[in-house]
Amino acid sequence: MLTQRKTLVWLIVIGAILVVWPLVMPRFYVYLTALIMTTGLLVTSLNFALGYGGIFQFHHAVFYGVGAYATGLAIVKLGYSAWVAFLFGPIAAAIVSLIIGVICIRLSKLYFGMLQISLGSLVWAIVYRWYTFTGGDDGIHGIAMPDLLGSYSGAYYFTLIITAASMLVMYLMVKSPFGSVLQGIRDNDVRSQAIGVNVRLHQLIALVIAGFFAGVAGVLFVVVDNSIFPDMMFWTLSMEVMIMCLLGGWLTFMGPIVGAGMIVVIRTVVSGYTEYWSLILGVILMIVIFFLPDGVLGYFTNKFKRTTDKQMVKG
């Protein structure tokens, strides 16, 4: 109960800060925070499959790109209203995730991940080469948004609301019986199958859910940046997203957001001072791997639990 109360207090404080953030900070930092929230949602959706499901989701960024492209193309090429087009992204990402999942689900662990990279790269190649529709390697820029989202503060608050709602839904799923079964499959899929759990079906559902929320993150990127480009679904971004997940703590729910925030800040801010920002990132990753194998938030969470347990024993 003590832990839950402290967590609730922290969430209220952080939420209050995020609400007043656009009122007191320059536009660049508002944009950066919105980008962190978008990326954090993407990484959390990966963690739903990887951290809680034990599924080697090696090309998760493809669903992020599909969500963004489905929304952007629906607005620019098909002429739909932005509010309608926002629905296209998550649905398209979930469908692509279902198709790739059905093909890959019979394989396990590393083989699953390698085949997913191949299929995801095929989707990227189609987008990259289809100049007449997707814009090819140039992408599409200047995507029109509704008046409500036309200002940077409007886009920020929309991103904040959707990110918070998506995080809450995923958290409830993790804490639900489905989430418990999923974690049981992660820990021991053979035993789970032996007691009657349909392992592949649960994993496939987890993949579709993860793909759906990656598509939501893609929609938010369009809202924040008003552009789409094929690098959004390139395999290198998938590896970067996985690094964010591991850096923050892939066995914690909020850890991926911490990892996303660290890397986005390093990439955006530090790169303005030195072109060797990737070297700094590499050093940080080495430190985390050697000294914080559970990730940054995972380390502090475990330390807090040990301290609380000791206090309870003494009490």
Per-residue pLDDT tens over the stretch 3-53: 667 777 888 899 999 999 999 999 999 999 999 999 999 999 999 999 899
By DSSP bridging, strand 227-228 and strand 140-141 are antiparallel
**Chain segment 88-105, per-residue pLDDT in tens:** 999 999 999 999 999 998
How many other C-beta atoms lie within 10 A of the C-beta of residue 141? 13
Q: Please, which residues have CB within 8 angstroms of residue 150's CB and are 6 or more apart in sequence?
A: none
CA 220 to chain centre: 11
Which residues, other chains included, contact 211 with Cβ-Cβ below 8 Å and sequence gap of 6+?
A: 45, 63, 93, 94, 96, 97, 98, 101
- Cα(303)–Cα(294) distance, integer angstroms: 11
Q: What is the pTM of this model?
A: 0.92
Question: How far is residue 305's CA from residue 35's CA, in Å, rounded to a whole number?
Answer: 31
* Strand, helix or coil for residue 155: helix
Query: What pLDDT digit, counting tens, does each position of 120-150 carry?
Result: 999 999 999 999 999 988 999 999 999 899 8
The number of residues making up the chain comes to 315
